[in-house]
Amino acid sequence: MSTQPPQHEHEESPADGVDDAESTPPAQQRREDAKADKRSRDAQRQAEADDAAKRDEPTRHIKVFRYDPEIEGKQEPRFDDFHVPFEKGMTVLDALIYARDQYDPSLTFRHSCRQAVCGSDAFFVNGDQRLGCKTQLSELDDPVRIEPLPHQEVVKDLVVDMDHFYEEMEAVDPYFDPDETPDGELEEQRQSRENREKVKMSTRCIWCGACFSSCNIAAGDNQYLGPAALNKAYRFAMDDREGESRKTERLETIEQEHGVWRCQTQFSCTNVCPKDIPLTEHIQELKREAVKKNLKFW
Amino acid sequence: MSQSYNRGLIEDFGRWREFSAGMWAWIFHKFTGWVLVGYLFTHIAVLSTSIPASAGETVVYEGTQVDVYTGTIVALESLLVVRILEVGLLAVAVFHILNGLRLLFVDLGIGLESQDKSFYASLILTGAITVASVPTFIAGAF
C-alpha cells in the first residue's frame, strides 16, 4: 500500500499545482481533494509501519523443519520460515516458542524446564546437536536452521522417536546398585571426595540424546550402546561404593561386541554434549578397564 | 507414531562441510589405511618379480640385458606418474603414522582435550614433510 518512496510524492506535487491553476472544475477539485486526503492517510500509515519496524527492529530469521505424517498436505518434509523479534538473551527455544504462539500453533517440539536440566529440547541447530534452551541466538548465523535430531526417526516436526535411545540407556542398568548395603537402614553410604570428583562430570547427563544423535557409529550399528549409555556405565562402574562384583558385571556388559569397542574416537559426542561431559575420555577409560580386567599374566 | 520419517543419507556425508576435527581425522585415517593396504598388494607384486630374477630370468631394457626385478623397478621409476604417486604414498603414510600416534595418546587417555590441535598438527607436519620430499622423488623424472 504505502511502499511509494517519499521523493516520488514531491515530484508529483508541482504537476498537481499547475493543473489547479489552469482550470478548477468542481468535480476535479473534489478528486484532487480526495487524492490529497488519500496521500495524507498513506503517509500516516507509512509512519505507523515505520514505527512498528523501529520497535521490532532486530528480528531473527529461523527456518524450521516441518513434517506431519497425519495430515496429507504435510507428509512431504519442508522448511518453514519465521521472522521472530529478537530480544537480548533470546535462545533458540524462545524463538520456537514465539513462532508457535504467534504464528503457527501446529509447530510441535518438546520442551519443559527451559534451563538445560530436563533434556527434552535437543535439536539439530545449524548443523550441530544443541539444547534449544541453552543456545543463544546471538551465537548463530542467520538463517538459523532448526531440525529434529538426526539418526532418530521423526514423529512430527521437531519431535523424534527416543525409544531406541532409552532402550540403550536402560541396557546398562543406569542406577546405583551396591553389593552390600549398610546394616542400619538410615546409615549413609559415603563416598570419598576423590571418587566423587572422578565421577562428577559423568553424573551430569540429562538424557537429551544429543551425543547419541551425533555418533556416526550409533547411526550405523543399531545395537551399539552409544556414548550416553557408556557414560552411565562409567558413572556407576567407577563408583567405589558399588563394590567389585557389581563393577565386574558392569564391565562385562560394556565390553561386549556392541559395547565400548565400537567407539572410534571421532569426538562427535564430546563436541556436542550440552553438559560438557568428556564422553570420549570416559569411554576410553572403560576400554582400559576392560583390558585390565581381561589381561592376566599371573 | 505409526508413521515416521527417515531422512536417510542427508544426515551423514551430505553434511561433510559441518564435520569437526575428530571426524575428519577418522575419515582420513580410514582412507589412508585402505590406500596403504592397496599399496601393500602392489608392493608384493613388484617384489615377487625377484623370484624369477633369482633363477636367472632376464629382460631387455633399453638394449641391455637386466634381470627381471631390476627391469621392473627401473621401468616403473622412469614413469612420471609413478614418481607422483610415490609422493602421494609418502603423504598418506606420514599422515597415517602421525595420526596413529595421536590415536595412541587418545587410547591412553592423554591430552584428550587437545585432540583437535594434534590433528591439525599432524596435517601440517604431513604437508611439510611431503613438500620437503618432492625434490627427492621428482629428481630426474622430467
DSSP A259-270: TGGG-----HHH
Q: How far is A150 from chain B (nearest CA, A)?
A: 6
- Interchain CB distance below 8 Å, A67 and B106: no
Percent of chain B at pLDDT > 90 equals: 55
Cell representation of residue A66: 516441518
Q: Is some CB atom of chain A closer than 8 A to the CB atom of B55?
A: no
Question: Which domains can be identified in chain A, with CATH numbers?
Answer: 59-159 (3.10.20.30), 163-294 (1.10.1060.10)
Would you say how long chain A is, in residues?
298
Place of cell 633399453: B62
Give SS3 for A166: helix
Q: Is some CB atom of chain B closer than 8 A to the CB atom of A163?
A: no
Residue A143 · residue A209 · CB < 8 Å: no
Cis? peptide before A6, omega within 30° of 0: no
Q: Is some CB atom of chain A closer than 8 A to the CB atom of B20?
A: yes
Distance CA A263, CA A211 (A): 12
- Interchain CB distance below 8 Å, B109 and A267: no
pLDDT string in tens for chain B (142-residue length): 334 555 654 456 667 777 889 999 999 999 999 999 999 999 999 999 888 888 888 888 878 888 888 888 888 888 899 999 999 999 999 999 999 999 999 999 998 889 999 999 999 999 999 999 999 888 876 6
In sequence order, which ranges of chain A are alpha helices (DSSP H)? 6-22, 26-55, 92-102, 163-171, 193-200, 210-214, 216-220, 227-237, 244-254, 268-272, 279-294
Q: Is some CB atom of chain A closer than 8 A to the CB atom of B16?
A: no
Residue of chain B with shortest Cα separation from A279: B112
**Can you tell me the ipTM of this complex?**
0.83
Task: List phi, psi (to 5°) of A135.
Answer: -105, 115
pLDDT string in tens for chain A (298-residue length): 444 444 444 444 444 444 444 555 666 677 667 666 666 666 665 555 555 555 656 899 999 999 998 888 888 888 999 999 999 999 999 999 999 999 999 999 999 999 999 999 999 999 899 999 999 999 999 899 999 998 888 999 999 999 999 999 999 999 999 988 888 888 888 999 999 999 999 999 999 999 999 998 998 888 999 999 999 999 999 999 998 999 999 999 999 999 999 999 999 999 999 999 999 999 999 999 999 988 877 6
CATH for the stretch B20-138: 1.20.1300.10
Which helix (H) or strand (E) element contains residue B131?
helix B115-138
Distance CA A195, CA A192 (A): 5
- Interchain CB distance below 8 Å, B4 and A154: yes
Output the pLDDT for position A5. 43
Q: How far is B113 from chain A (nearest CA, A)?
A: 8
Q: Is some CB atom of chain A closer than 8 A to the CB atom of B77?
A: no
All residues of chain A having their beta carbon less than 8 Å from the beta carbon of residue B9 are none
Place of cell 570419598: A192
All residues of chain A having their beta carbon less than 8 Å from the beta carbon of residue B18 are 127-128
- Interchain CB distance below 8 Å, A271 and B22: yes
Q: How far is A161 from chain B (nearest CA, A)?
A: 8
Cell representation of residue A277: 561431559
Domain spans in chain B, listed from the N-terminal domain onward: 20-138
Q: How far is A198 from chain B (nearest CA, A)?
A: 14
Of A153, A278, A285, Cβ closest to residue B4: A153
Q: Is some CB atom of chain A closer than 8 A to the CB atom of B101?
A: no
Residue A274 · residue A212 · CB < 8 Å: no
Residue A172 · residue A225 · CB < 8 Å: yes
Residue of chain B with shortest Cα separation from A272: B20
Distance CA A203, CA A233 (A): 11
Q: Is some CB atom of chain A closer than 8 A to the CB atom of B15?
A: yes
Residue B101 · residue B110 · CB < 8 Å: no
Sign of the Cα pseudo-torsion (B108, B111, B116, B118, in order): negative
DSSP tag of A134: G
| CB neighbours of residue A234 within 10 Å | 26
CA B46 from centroid of its chain's CA atoms: 17
Residue of chain B with shortest Cα separation from A159: B4
Residue of chain A with shortest Cα separation from B13: A216
Q: Is some CB atom of chain B closer than 8 A to the CB atom of A178?
A: no
Residue of chain B with shortest Cα separation from A163: B1
Residue of chain A with shortest Cα separation from B8: A151
